[in-house]
Amino acid sequence: MKRLLVLLSLFLSFTLQSQQIIPLNEKAYIDSLQNITKGNHSDPSKATASFLLSNYYRNSDSVLSKKYLAKGKILAQNNPFISAKYYYYEGQYNLDRNKNKAAVSYQQAIQFLSKFKNEESDFLQALAWYSYGVSQKDKEGYIPLVKIMLEKSIPLVEKYKNSRNLGFLYTQLAVILTYNAQFKKAEGYNNKALEILEKQYPNSAELFFTYLNSANNFCYQANGDQAEKYLNKAEKLVRTYPESSSNAFYYYSKTLLYITRQKNEEALPVIEKGILYTRKYNQNLLAQMFYFNKFDILKKLKRYKEAKTTLKDVLTEKSLAIDLNNRKTFYKQLSLLNEELGDTKEALLWEQRYSKLNDSLNTENVKLEINKLETKFNTAEKERKIATLNAEKNQKDLEVNKKNSYLWGMGLVLLLALSLLIFLFIIFRKNKKINEQRINDIKQKEELSLTKAILDGEERERERIARDLHDGLGGMLAGVKINFSTWSSCHLNPEKDREFYKILGQLDSSVSELRHVARNLMPESLLNFGLETAILDLCEFYKRKNLEIDFQAIDIDKALPLNIQLNIYRIVQELLANAVKHAEASSILLQCSQSGENFLITIEDNGKGFDKNIENTSKSMGLRNLKNRVNYLKGKMEINSDDQGTAINIELNIHGE
């Protein structure tokens, strides 16, 4: 499953950038467009054909693509609608070359196309919005892109109901959801697309790619049978067009199916077929994806020299390695391959490159985090000063009111003595309550700020220690292990020097334990895949032969702020740790659900229970830390425990801080 997710993360950038759907009868389509540009047709028709040809060649022949784009612009000069279309195709041309220029072009396209009320205009606007979101993905992430799809692109086309364009947009949204491990939601949008396309456009390229996306989605869920069903449907559509470049995508999905079923030997000839198509149609990025699959399989088959050569070629070609996170992955893999081959020197060289790049990426992330923390601190400081000034102003107002009341009382002392005393008493009591309330509010804010600072400090220190352990001491110990392994293979006999190999095994266990400690301090799965996956990994970690943990997740929003996810993760971690260490239970049920701004945690075990007043009778730091985190998220906790087991219910507010 992890191998498939790595392949998915590499492949998605290509999927998002290949937003053009070319008919499966590709040659006839291109010939038709070229005949229009050369024949006796109107300028608007020639301009539209030129734009489509520019879009077709934008990834395979940039010179020809630019030529058709410029020709279409000239032909469209006297037609406002066709001129508006130009800006969309200009954005397409620049999308892989200059994302900032592309973003400007897409916004211009939306502005000019919005003046025309027809289906083609609405669809091009929808595509322009979607492409704009893709151009901003590296800056803003996937959440704004999904929001654009749901609030801008899809609503523009949904009013045409059974449109093939709507089916296409449903499929693209499903691709994004698949990447973010929202497989069920992705399946739902793929099914929406299929409901339209299978009935209305049974031989379309849109249907072909929806079948492939559905197959890929099931591959990432390790469901090979369902994936094969959709892959067979896609194969029937493309079978009659052996010269279509779409065959490369079919063979890529077929490769994923073989990987899912662990048929590594059978996948290799499929990869070679896919590579032939990518070379023929200059599909460079997809070609590199095939080579990366080939490397992964060769490594699995322990054909390390071939795997090393293949991965070096991928690194040299740069289509995938231009992304720094991909390059870091390649460096790490090359280090491991050379270790397997016994080339200690080169293994250390690649490990050093990996560490250097990893440190660089971490430094950039730290800078961004520091900037965020500084902004938060400055905002909190301003709010504190404002609160202080308001408190001082209110205090002065109270003093003035008291003086005025006193003067009025002196003037009316003879006539209203009794009334004045009653009035002053009421005012005094009222002011006292107001002051007490304000003081309590200030104390609560200060306590909340202190708790937040402590928790943030703990997490930053955890992150720093985890990084130092994993990338610093971990890397050094790994190097020592490699050197010992290499030296011992040349100078020692496994039979005679068993004590040395026993010590070497202890060193290996120490490295693994160190990495486990680092991962526990700052869970990578939370940062990479979100709260639900991180809690699932945590449950798997605590499982034992005599302990079953059932984890149920309901509607957990992946868009939760990272600090909220981290606090929820720590709460669950403390609950599981207490249940495993002290309850002596054989079964634990953990349920996490979200409803709007409320996040609910329920954990039940069949253990021996505990005294609910343990916090007052012992130094139970775990339970106190748990209550601090619950209070920080403005939550409440209910504990029920007896000799039949323990049940803890926690309700949190995701906007608690």
Given a cut of 90, whether residue 207 has pLDDT beyond it is: yes
d(CA 53, CA 69): 8
The pLDDT confidence band at residue 486, using thresholds 50, 70 and 90, is confident
What pLDDT does residue 436 have?
Answer: 74
Please check the confidence at residue 366 and state whether its pLDDT lies above 60.
no
CB atoms within 10 A of CB 364: 11
Residue 51 or residue 512, greater confidence:
51
- Top mean pLDDT of 381-390, 439-448, 490-499 is at 490-499
Q: Band of the pLDDT at 4, cuts 50, 70, 90? A: very low
**In the predicted model, what is the mean pLDDT of residues 353-382?**
62
Looking at residue 347, what is its pLDDT?
Answer: 85
The residue that leads in pLDDT, 407 or 471, is 407
Question: Which has more pLDDT, 385 or 386?
Answer: 386
Under the banding of pLDDT at 50, 70 and 90, the label for residue 354 is: confident
Q: Which of residues 96 and 231 earns the better pLDDT score? A: 231
Q: Parallel, antiparallel, or unpaired for β 636-642 and 645-653?
A: antiparallel
Q: What is the mean pLDDT of residues 352-357?
A: 86
Per-residue pLDDT for 416 more than 70?
A: yes
CA 4 to chain CA centroid, Å, is 16
In CATH terms, the fold of domain 1-26+202-321 is 1.25.40
Strand order in the sheet with 587-595: 548-554, 587-595, 598-605, 645-653, 636-642
Q: Which residue has the higher pLDDT, 194 or 513?
A: 194
Residue-wise pLDDT tens digits, 518-540: 555 667 777 788 888 888 988 98
232-255 mean pLDDT: 93
CATH no., domain 525-653? 3.30.565.10
Name the least confident of 76-80, 138-142, 284-288, 571-575.
Answer: 138-142
Could you tell me which of 155, 247, 183, 261 has the C-alpha nearest to residue 209? 247
* DSSP helix/strand/coil, 551: strand
Q: Is 318 helix (H, G, I), strand (E, B) or coil?
A: coil
User: Which has more confidence, 135 or 469?
Assistant: 135
pLDDT at residue 268 is higher than 90: yes
The Cβ of residue 636 has, within 10 Å, a number of other Cβ atoms equal to 12
Across 28-37, 410-419, 493-502, the highest mean pLDDT is recorded for: 28-37
pLDDT of residue 470: 47
Q: Given this model, what pLDDT does residue 524 score?
A: 73
Q: From residue 105, how far is each of 76, 100, 131, 179, 612 by CA, in Å?
A: 16, 9, 10, 27, 63
Report the pLDDT averaged over residues 373-381: 52
The string of pLDDT tens digits covering residues 135-147 is 887 777 778 889 9
Q: What is the pLDDT of residues 575-614, one digit of tens each?
A: 888 888 887 888 999 999 998 889 999 999 998 887 766 6
pLDDT at 3 (0 to 100): 45
Give the chain's mean pLDDT.
81
Q: State residue 527's pLDDT score.
A: 77
- pLDDT above 50: residue 17: no
Instruction: Reduce the DSSP state of residue 1 to 3 states and report it.
Output: coil
CA 178 vs. chain centroid, Å, equals: 11
Question: CA-CA distance, 182 to 559, in Å (whole number)?
Answer: 12
User: What average pLDDT does the segment 81-98 reach?
Assistant: 92
Give the confidence band of 188 by pLDDT, cuts at 50, 70, 90: very high
DSSP string, 570-626: HHHHHHHHHHHHHS--SEEEEEEEEETTEEEEEEEE-S----TTHHHHS--HHHHHH
The residue that leads in pLDDT, 471 or 56, is: 56
pLDDT number for residue 9:
40
For 243, list phi and psi in degrees, rounded to 5: -95, 5
| % of the chain at pLDDT higher than 70 | 80
pLDDT at 481 over 60: yes
Of residues 609 and 495, more confidently modeled: 609
d(C-alpha 363, C-alpha 361), whole Å: 5
**CB of 538 closer than 8 Å to CB of 523:** yes
- Sequence spans of domains, the chain: 1-26+202-321, 359-520, 525-653
Identify the pLDDT of residue 357.
Answer: 83
Q: Residue 240: what pLDDT?
A: 93
Higher pLDDT, 219 or 378: 219
Closest alpha carbon to 320 in 30, 535, 564, 6 = 6
pLDDT at 613: 65
- pLDDT of res. 563: 83
| DSSP annotation of 654 | T
The whole-number pLDDT of residue 604 equals 92
**DSSP code string of 365-421:** HHHHHHHHHHHHHHHHHHHHHHHHHHHHHHHHHHHHHHHHHHHHHHHTTTTSHHHHH
**Of the candidates 620, 599, 611, 601, the residue with the CA atom closest to the CA atom of residue 640:** 611
Q: What is the pLDDT of residue 239?
A: 93
Q: Is residue 53 over pLDDT 90?
A: yes
Across 47-51, average pLDDT: 95
State the greatest distance between any 2 C-alpha atoms of the chain, in Å, as a whole number: 113
The Cα–Cα gap between 180 and 559 comes to 11
Looking at residues 23-35, what average pLDDT do you find?
A: 92
